[in-house]
Structure 1
Amino acid sequence: MTALSNVLIAVAVIVLVVGRQLRARRLDTERRFWLLPLILAAVALRDPVLIDPAHKGAAALILAGSLVTTVGMGCAWGWTMRLWRDQEGQLWTQGSVATVFAWVGAIVIRIGWYGVGTALHVHQSTSVLMLSLGLLLLVRSAAVSWRARRLDDHKHTLAA
C-alpha cells in the first residue's frame, strides 16, 4: 500500500472510531473487539520497510518506544470511557471530554515519535502508524472489556 492510502485508512478509522465512542451506545461484550486491530496490524506488518534498513537499531528502538507509549495511551483512553447499566441491566458506554484529550494526546505523542525519527534520520513507514493504531484500538477495547467485567464482578459481589 502507498503511504497516502495508509494515512487515509488511518484517518478514516480514527474518524469512525472517535465518532462512535463519543455517542452513548450499548456495549456488546461478546463482539470481536480484536478483529479491526488485527486487520490493521496485518496490513502494517506486510510492509518490508517497517524498520528502516539503514538505521535498524534506532528504528527498532523508536518502534518499540512508540508501541509502549501506544499501550499507555490505549489504557488511558479505555479509562476515559464512561460505563453504566440501564434499567434493564444492559451495559452502556460513552466517551467523554477526557476521551477527546486522550485522542489528542495519542496524536501528539505519535507526532513526537515521528519527530524523534526525523531528528535521527530514521525513515518511518506509514505502516508504523497503522500498527500503532491497531495496538491502540486493541488495548482500549481490552481495557473497556476488563472494566465491564469488573463492573459485573462488583455487581455479583454486592448481590451475594
Structure 2
Amino acid sequence: MSGLVNALVIVAVVALVIARQFRARRISTDRRWWILPLVLALVALREPGMIDAHHRAGSVALLAAELVIGLAMGAGWAWTTRVWTAPDGAIWSKSTKASAAVWVAGIALRVGLFALGAVLGVHQDSSALLLALAGTLVVRSGVLIWRAQSLTAAGGRRAAYGDAERRSAWKEGV
C-alpha cells in the first residue's frame, strides 16, 4: 500500500478505537486481553524497515522515544478511564475527557517525533507506530484488568476516577 493509504488506515483505526472507548463497555477479566497487542507487535517486528540502516543511532533513539510515548499513553489512558461496578456486579469502563487529552498529547508528541525524524533525515516506517500502538494497548488493557480485579477483590463499589461525572440512566450496549 502507498504511504497515503497507510496513513488513512491508521487514522481510521485510531478514530474507531477512540470512539468506542467513549461508550460504556463491560470489562471481562477472564478474556485474553493480551492477544491483539501481541499480534500487532509480531506484525510490526516482521517488517524490515523499522531501523534506518543509514541513521542507526537516530532511528533507534526515535523508536525508543516512540515506545516510551506509547507506553506512557497506555498508562495515562487506563488511569483516566472511569471504572465502576454496576449493581449486578459487572465491571464497566468509559473513557473521560482526560483520556481524550492523553490521546491528543500522545498524537502531538508522535507528530513531533515524526517531524524531528524528517528534519534529521531518518527514514521512519509505520512498523514503529504499530509497535508503539501494541505497547499502548497492552499497558492500557493490563492496567484496566488490574483495576477491575481490584474492584472485584474489594467486594463492592469503590471510588474511581471520574465518579464526580454525571452518569446517564442507561448503559450503552457493547
The two structures have a TM-score, normalised by structure 1, of 0.88
Shift of 1:31: 1.9
Where does residue 86 of structure 1 map in the other structure?
86
How far apart, in 2, do the equivalents of 1:118 and 1:88 lie? Answer: 53
Shift of 1:5: 4.6
Count residues in correspondence: 157
Where does residue 10 of structure 2 map in the other structure?
10
Shift of 1:2: 4.7
2:66 corresponds to 1:73: no
CA contact (8 A) 2:26 2:90 kept: yes
How far apart, in 2, do the equivalents of 1:112 and 1:87 lie? Answer: 44
CA contact (8 A) 1:81 1:99 kept: yes
3-state SS of 1:26 partner: strand
Shift of 1:39: 2.2
Instruction: Identify if the C-alpha distance between structure 1 residues 67 and 123 changes in structure 2 by more than 3 Å, giving closer, same or farther.
Output: same
CA contact (8 A) 1:40 1:134 kept: yes
Instruction: Identify if the C-alpha distance between structure 1 residues 72 and 37 changes in structure 2 by more than 3 Å, giving closer, same or farther.
Output: same
Q: Which runs of 5+ in 1 are unaligned?
A: none
How far apart, in 2, do the equivalents of 1:89 and 1:125 lie? Answer: 44
3-state SS of 1:54 partner: coil
Instruction: Identify if the C-alpha distance between structure 1 residues 96 and 103 changes in structure 2 by more than 3 Å, giving closer, same or farther.
Output: same
Amino acid corresponding to residue 37 of structure 1 in structure 2: P
Q: Which runs of 5+ in 2 are unaligned?
A: 159-174
3-state SS of 1:88 partner: coil
How far apart, in 2, do the equivalents of 1:146 and 1:60 lie? Answer: 31
Shift of 1:137: 1.1
CA contact (8 A) 2:45 2:127 kept: yes
Shift of 1:125: 0.6
CA contact (8 A) 2:85 2:151 kept: no
Could you give the per-residue CA deviations for residues 5-24 of structure 1, whole angstroms, max 9, x where no partner exists? 54344223212211211001
Where does residue 22 of structure 1 map in the other structure?
22
How far apart, in 1, do the equivalents of 2:75 and 2:91 lie? Answer: 20
Could you give the per-residue CA deviations for residues 76-115 of structure 1, whole angstroms, max 9, x where no partner exists? 0001110111111110111111111111111111111112
CA contact (8 A) 1:3 1:125 kept: no
CA contact (8 A) 1:29 1:145 kept: yes
Instruction: Kindly report the root-mean-square deviation, in angstroms, between the aligned alpha carbons of the 2 structures.
Output: 1.9
Shift of 1:152: 2.3
CA contact (8 A) 2:66 2:129 kept: no
Amino acid corresponding to residue 32 of structure 2 in structure 1: R
Instruction: Identify if the C-alpha distance between structure 1 residues 80 and 124 changes in structure 2 by more than 3 Å, giving closer, same or farther.
Output: same
3-state SS of 1:53 partner: coil
Instruction: For 1:1-160, list aligned pairs within 5 A.
Output: 2-155=2-155
